[in-house]
Homo-oligomer: A and B are copies of this chain.
């Protein structure tokens, strides 16, 4: 009975998010899109999660300051995602946007001290009309988008969630520079919060430890303007009665402005996707524990939150079948293998597992049938010989 398991293992090898070309270790590639709106080419830093499923499509993390933060974001998504089997957040495509004139693109209003400033709306037009269509045309996306930014880019995130709330599904702003231009952005958010419709979207704000908070609140000098503005925008969303925004906040007492992005993106994505994590099925088989209804309820909710259908992952359902076999529940074991075949009809693994199941209960005919179907999906000399052997027995 060992042989089919060996086949399985060879098919199941997890594809890591990092690849090798020659002896270089590669995590993504660069791309470029020419923007008519901005009249310049924009460099993109692209991460596409590897998947065993060639048809996999993924939500997209749009990452501002892509040149600086690409490695940070790619490692976090790879660490928390499905490919790494942590499955705390979905596998995501990352589109890091490189900077050309950072102050121009990320600031919402013109400050005469910064000649090119005030171009945030134009930059948003580029993202909406040019970048998102380009990404959706060239990469395997689903229509679920997260926008992430730190510092000036956090200010841009705040501007986008305020003025274009449905452009992204979730917004992640770290130390957003709402102190810009004499605190104008903060004042505008404060003035509009009551009547704004955020469409139910999610907003996560993460703040680093800039100054003594209590002292900063009392201060009026420029030395504490960043801290006061950060706390100010946090206060607005924490105390508003506006229910159209799903607000999360975390303070990072051990981080500086410069170190915030890594723990900020890490905890921000966990907060935004807090509905995503797989529930525990360790009580399967116990009286009163209904694994099927838990599985259905979880993926119905995940699908609703993501905005498109998400089937129970093949690896999870295989795991449930394995638990059932350990706990002597052959009927349920078979049912989970069949569920995988229904959900993933082109899966070699789903066919092999059913073949192995039938071989174990001595239904040779059914076993040969599923092994043969697996072989038709993917040629394998060892499997071909094994089927021949089985037929001869």
Contact = CB atoms under 8 A, between A and B. Distances in A.
A144 B70 CA distance: 29
B21 A21 contact: yes
A78 B73 CA distance: 12
B85 A75 contact: no
Interface stretch (A22-30, A240-248, A295-303, A357-365): A22-30
Given A75-B71, A78-B71, A259-B80, A23 B29 contact: yes
A270 B258 contact: no
A373 interface: no
Given A18-B70, A71-B75, A85-B258, A27 B30 contact: no
A86 interface: yes
Nearest to A223: B282
A20 interface: yes
A90 to B, nearest CB: 15
Interface in A257-304: 258-259, 261-263, 266-267, 270
A212 to B, nearest CB: 13
A262 B266 contact: yes
Given A85-B258, A258-B85, A259-B80, A30 B21 contact: no
A74 interface: yes
A74 B263 CA distance: 15
A68 B86 CA distance: 12
Contacts of A71: 17-18, 27, 74-75, 78-79
Interface string A82-99: 001110100000000000
A80 B262 CA distance: 9
A345 to B, nearest CB: 30
Nearest to A87: B258
Nearest to A85: B258
Nearest to A80: B259
Given A75-B75, A266-B263, A16 B86 contact: no
A17 B88 CA distance: 27
A351 B20 CA distance: 41
A123 to B, nearest CB: 23
A306 to B, nearest CB: 20
B26 A258 contact: no
A270 B254 contact: yes
Nearest to A270: B254
Contact of A26 (B26, B74, B76, B88): B26
A67 interface: yes
11 contacts: A16-B68, A18-B70, A20-B30, A24-B24, A75-B76, A76-B262, A79-B261, A80-B262, A85-B258, A254-B267, A262-B266
The 8 closest A-B pairs by CB, nearest first: A75-B75, A24-B26, A25-B28, A86-B258, A23-B29, A23-B30, A79-B262, A71-B75
Interface of A: 16-18, 20-21, 23-31, 45, 67-68, 70-72, 74-76, 78-80, 84-86, 88, 254, 256, 258-259, 261-263, 266-267, 270
Given A25-B28, A71-B74, A85-B258, 5 more contacts: A21-B21, A23-B31, A74-B75, A79-B261, A80-B262
